Amino acid sequence: MTRAGSVIAGRYAIEAELGHGGMGTVYRAHDRVLDEAVALKVLRGDAASAPEAVGRFRSEVKLARRVRHRNVCAIHDYGEDGGLLFIAMELVEGVDLRALIHRQGTLPAEEAWSAALQIADGLAAIHEAGIMHRDLKTSNAMRDAAGVVRLMDFGIAKEWGKGGLTAVGRVVGTPEYMSPEQVRGGALDFRTDVYSLGILVFELFTGVLPFTGANPTDVVLKQLREEPPLDAGPGAALPPPLREVLRRALRKDREQRTPGVEQLRGELWQAWQQSAVAMPPELLAATFAPPPAETPAPVETPPPAPRARVVPSPHAPAPVPNGARAPDWEEEFEPAEPAVARWRKSLSDPDPRRRFEAANALAELGEAARPALPELTRALRDEATFVRSAAALALKRLRGR
């Protein structure tokens, strides 16, 4: 029996139970080898004797280890100790979003936007790895003390193109978050996760689910037949720009649905910008954390840009080689390095409009704007909301998201 004080595989000392689900129990444990705290998910005894459950448990490890992203819980190790099967995972010191909503009723708008954008980022990374999650829900998203949200639980995830995604007649998932094609047990693709993310975002902003019932059958029927309450009832609390984003994400016919999480993520970003909800600096940093610099970049002298890029310049025309006449349609350009240096300086301009212009220009430069990382990070604390938003976008593009 697994309990506090017991040691698994001679390595993981159990400290306390954190929670349990359909396949097993999660414990806080101390890894004696690495001397660090981990979360240990142990497969239930009855499930460990079922070949299908064991296969799903091992599959969870293999799939989850392919994803490395700050908004996805990391898997460290898989092991067996006698008849005990376990997974060692990153320990997230925090609370799942479902419990947070139950405790607070509804989340403040800035926290709901932050969680929605981070979950979309994490899901995009999962899809990029060729994996469907299939069980997106607020109880599978943990928020730590710094405000960073991580997706977890790959128990019923499937790899695209492998057996199971198109298997007809099998229904797995949580009815309140399942797409119409999922509740039918039909063929699935990544748009199923898009629908589930739409449900999850609705819950973040309203504190309730769009489809509920006295039993799972009632919920399934509503998923198939009823439109989500976006314009009345709980949906009246949704920001208007978000309402239209969710209307597309929650189409019953997946051919009319938002085609992928990349597009949905972009639409969520635009809706947040249009809603003009300001995030405090700490939450902005959690939502749009910049990547670590490969080498420290001195502020005074920008290092060379990673790749050659040119940007439009309002300055004098560039000289034409050999005195040749430039074509009439040719635009004026300047190299990326001087442009980055100029916009870095402008981020300290007293005029917020000039700072906003600089942050937007650096966002367009993408990876070439890396020398401006210190200034962009400081701009996350700018007194002007629109400057903070532009700086967050620049940092997002700088890290390739």
Active site residues: 135
How many CB atoms lie under 10 A from the CB of residue 170? 8
**Residue 277 near residue 110 (C-beta atoms within 8 A):** yes
Query: What CA–CA distance (Å, rounded) separates 388 from 51?
Result: 52
**Residue 28 near residue 37 (C-beta atoms within 8 A):** yes
Nearest to 210, CA basis, from 191, 225, 223, 197: 223
Query: What CA–CA distance (Å, rounded) separates 138 from 141?
Result: 5
**Residue 113 near residue 277 (C-beta atoms within 8 A):** yes
CB contact burial 220-258 (16+ within 10 A = b; e otherwise): bebbeeeebbbeeebbeebbebbbebbbbbbbbebeebb
Grouping H, G, I as helix, E, B as strand and the rest as coil, residue 40 is: strand
Looking at 106-230, list the stretches that DSSP marks H as alpha helix, in order from N- to C-terminal side. 109-128, 180-183, 191-206, 216-225
CB neighbour list of residue 81: distance below 8 Å, 6 or more residues apart: 8, 9
Grouping H, G, I as helix, E, B as strand and the rest as coil, residue 30 is: strand
**Residue 342 near residue 315 (C-beta atoms within 8 A):** no
Q: Tell me, rounded to whole angstroms, the distance of Cα 206 from its chain centroid.
A: 20
Query: What CA–CA distance (Å, rounded) separates 362 from 1?
Result: 57
